[in-house]
A and B are shown apart, each in its own frame.
Chain A
Amino acid sequence: MRKWVLVAYLGGLVAVIAVAAAWALKDRDFPASTAQPPPLFTAPTIPIKPGQAACSNDITVESHSRQMRFQVGTMGKPGPELELTLRWPGAVQRRTQAGGYADNAVLGAEFDPPSEPRLATVCFSNRGRVPAYLFAADGTRPVGREVFGGDVSRSTTTVDGRRIAANVVLSFYEAKPTSILARTSATASRIAVFRPVGTWFVWLLGALFVIGIPAGLAWALLRAAGDDDRV
């Protein structure tokens, strides 16, 4: 019986390894930080008139934050030119988003990331002749949907210095697609944040899970089959 147990289990294990390897090695669009995700229930926008600027603070940028993404509505007109500013203590970077983009386009701007995580302020200045409508979230939810989720982020957003309730939907991604395997170390560090355990503990648990569980199961199955063979 033990032989058949081993054959079947190893067959299954090969399938596990093949699927896991394909999953871990696949290159994918990799997030670096999400300042404000799209809202769950409503789709508000923040209008930025020509000459106006909207700024959001407490935006996390870290060493993988290369591309800033946001979405702009234009009411069907060609999009106006935008000046994008990313600022954290001791550093300011400016980029220009050329005008003419399509209505509701998801736009990306490349920045040089900090070597260590920083809290930044992001500004969008309208340099064009028509308003830009930045996609936003304001935490509004339909009556009766008292679910946990869909709230506005911790940032404070101002338009020309005046505080508003909504925040710009904004996230940072890596420059090019990468795999989960390539980001294993970063993921272990990220999991340990807000936890009373160090990254080493995440690694230990990961090793026990990935290696210990299949090995332990194999041992338990073979031992049980052996026990029954002896009866």
Chain B
Amino acid sequence: MVGRLRRIPKPLCVLLVIAAVEAAAWATALPPLQGPDEIAHLQYTQEIVETPGIPWRSRSGGEPVRYSTEIATAVRWGQLSTLAANPPAHPAWTAVDEDLWRRHDQGLGHRDRADGGWVSALRNPPLYYVYEAVPYLVTYPASIFTREYVMRLANIPLLLVVVASTWLLLGHLFRRSRWLQTVGTAVVTLNPQLTHLAAIVNPDIALAAIWSLALLICVRTAEGGITRGRVAGLAALSAASALTQPRGVPLFLAALLAIGLAWLRARRSAGAPPVLGPVAAWSAAAASVAAAGVIYVWYATRGELSAGPVRQFASYLWQFYLPKLGFLAPNPQSGWTVRDVYIDRFYGTFAQLEVTFPAWLDHLLALGSAAGVVAVVVALVVHRGAVARRRAALAVMAAAALIYILALHAAAWRNILIAPGDPILTGRYLVPLIALFGVCVAMVVSALPRRVAGFAGAAIVSIALVVQFAAIGAVLERFYA
């Protein structure tokens, strides 16, 4: 065991420690229950522990939101709801505030923990909440604040899975170049949105861990072939993804693609005759894509597959990324753009969404990211020989990203049809693909001459460090200054 631990590359060890420190610092600096929907996620876990059964249900049945007496007492006497999403508010931060809450909390018992009702998180599948039930139980009968804090810290292993999976994926793709592994993993480790999600009770961090690990196994399967362990791993991760968050359901499509590509490669290298001729094979591939597309559109349009709703969805999708064409219908979410999702809320926007970067920093991040996208395209062209050799890995990664992002859009459009005011698609939902963010950075650095690669990689990491510091600074300023 000790020998195995010693074999872990030292830069990875350091990055894992950095990730853990970041998450612990954020979990401590963010006042209780100030993460997005954190109160609802806490209540879900509490209901699992305190009441019989799993309270997973798709609809409220019309009942209003109701927190347990214990949580409501913490919210009222800890001044947590007056704090939420309200920048002029500051936390209750003195010992007398804590004493006042404790006086109201001390008489509460099991019944007051078990009397919670409907919260929106109950629509989620239960896997993450079952996981969080462990720290909830371990800290029993400590106060609700202690339980919530330890539940936040329990996300750290999930964050470490993201970091380690990114490292291994980069090692697989870049022939164990320590430099590229370190740079790519460092920008993931320093991404403040990832840290933010690791510091609050929220299933998004579990989804990020599952997808990061699944991407690694998908790429290894597509290039290295099918093994019993890989198939079992992908099956387990696909199930875990679907049982963590509805957004995680499409993972099985990426897994199937990886297994399919590996199977085709194995047949080809074994000299077996093709199952289908080229025309039939391409037709089958096109039919599969079309079938997946129909399922997506069916979901997005709430089952309306006639021309009108489909055109509306396509129009929304086009206008999200590209300028409106004259013949397209107006986009009901025209104020919510690719910049909001891929920049402002992927790097920043924390707590109850009221903590944001200054506009100039968001602007610089947008410019840098746009330059990064161009650089990735250039790198792919420069390395077209290697790209051709690694096309199975690239196809799996690109397909996984596309499958996931299209699912986000389908869910967003479906929601727009119900509640036009809520854009639903936000930057933190992209975090399950964050390992690919590291891959893109490493790809750009790998295309540079050796010396320049050293300089550029270190410069990119130092910029990521600036962004991480700016983020924790924004959180501290919001709540404590």
Residues of chain A touching chain B, judged by Cβ–Cβ distance below 8 Å, are: 1-9, 11-13, 15-16, 19-20, 23, 28, 30-31, 33-34, 36-38, 40, 58, 60, 62, 117-119, 137, 146-154, 171, 180, 183, 187, 189-191, 193-197, 201-202, 205-206, 208-209, 212-214, 216-217, 219-221, 223-225, 227-228, 231
Alpha-carbon distance between A191 and B32 when the two chains are bound, in angstroms: 10
- The smallest beta-carbon distance between A28 and chain B, in angstroms, is 6
- CB pair B18–A213 under 8 Å, yes or no, is yes
- CB pair B93–A33 under 8 Å, yes or no, is yes
Alpha-carbon distance between A216 and B183 when the two chains are bound, in angstroms: 13
- CB pair A183–B481 under 8 Å, yes or no, is yes
Residues of B within 8 A of A16 (CB): 462, 465-466, 469
Alpha-carbon distance between A13 and B465 when the two chains are bound, in angstroms: 8
Residues of chain B touching chain A, judged by Cβ–Cβ distance below 8 Å, are: 9-11, 14-15, 17-18, 21-22, 24-25, 28-29, 31-33, 37, 39-40, 64-65, 75-79, 81-86, 88-98, 100-101, 142-143, 145-146, 149-150, 177-179, 181-183, 186, 352, 450-459, 461-463, 465-466, 468-470, 472-473, 476-477, 480-481
Residues of B within 8 A of A190 (CB): 91, 93-94, 480
- CB pair B480–A38 under 8 Å, yes or no, is no
- CB pair B455–A4 under 8 Å, yes or no, is yes
Residues of B within 8 A of A180 (CB): 476-477, 480-481
Alpha-carbon distance between A23 and B357 when the two chains are bound, in angstroms: 13
Residues of B within 8 A of A227 (CB): 9, 11, 178-179
Q: Chain B residue with minimal CB distance to A63?
A: B94
Residues of A within 8 A of B84 (CB): 147-150
Residues of A within 8 A of B32 (CB): 194
Residues of B within 8 A of A196 (CB): 142-143, 145-146, 149-150
Q: Chain B residue with minimal CB distance to A145?
A: B421
Q: Chain A residue with minimal CB distance to B453?
A: A1
Most buried by A among B15, B454, B469: B454
Alpha-carbon distance between A34 and B466 when the two chains are bound, in angstroms: 31
- The smallest beta-carbon distance between B282 and chain A, in angstroms, is 41
Alpha-carbon distance between A206 and B452 when the two chains are bound, in angstroms: 34
Excluding A150-B86, A153-B79, A194-B101, 4 further A-B contacts by CB distance (< 8 Å) are A9-B461, A187-B476, A216-B18, A223-B182
Alpha-carbon distance between A231 and B18 when the two chains are bound, in angstroms: 26
Residues of A within 8 A of B450 (CB): 1
- Given known A33-B90, A195-B149, contact A12–B82 (CB-CB < 8 A): no
Closest 10 CB pairs of A and B: A12-B462, A149-B84, A190-B93, A37-B89, A151-B81, A8-B458, A117-B94, A224-B182, A1-B454, A149-B85
Interface Cβ pair total, 8 Å cutoff? 241
- CB pair B21–A208 under 8 Å, yes or no, is yes
- The smallest beta-carbon distance between B58 and chain A, in angstroms, is 17
Most buried by B among A118, A206, A228: A228
- CB pair B29–A212 under 8 Å, yes or no, is no
Residues of A within 8 A of B150 (CB): 196
Alpha-carbon distance between A214 and B179 when the two chains are bound, in angstroms: 17
- CB pair A225–B179 under 8 Å, yes or no, is yes
Tell me which of A7, A148, A223 contacts B11 (CB under 8 A).
Answer: A223
- The smallest beta-carbon distance between B471 and chain A, in angstroms, is 11
Cβ contacts A to B, 13 pairs, < 8 Å = A4-B452, A8-B456, A12-B458, A38-B86, A38-B88, A40-B85, A117-B94, A148-B33, A148-B81, A194-B92, A208-B25, A216-B18, A224-B183
Tell me which of A193, A216, A224 contacts B93 (CB under 8 A).
Answer: A193
Residues of B within 8 A of A225 (CB): 178-179, 454
Residues of A within 8 A of B149 (CB): 195-197
- CB pair A193–B177 under 8 Å, yes or no, is no
- CB pair A213–B22 under 8 Å, yes or no, is yes
Residues of A within 8 A of B40 (CB): 148
Alpha-carbon distance between A11 and B11 when the two chains are bound, in angstroms: 21
- CB pair A191–B461 under 8 Å, yes or no, is no
- The smallest beta-carbon distance between A15 and chain B, in angstroms, is 6
Residues of B within 8 A of A154 (CB): 76-77, 79, 100
Residues of A within 8 A of B21 (CB): 205, 208-209, 212-213
- CB pair B64–A193 under 8 Å, yes or no, is no
- CB pair B455–A8 under 8 Å, yes or no, is yes
Q: Chain A residue with minimal CB distance to B177?
A: A228
Residues of B within 8 A of A152 (CB): 82
- CB pair B462–A220 under 8 Å, yes or no, is no
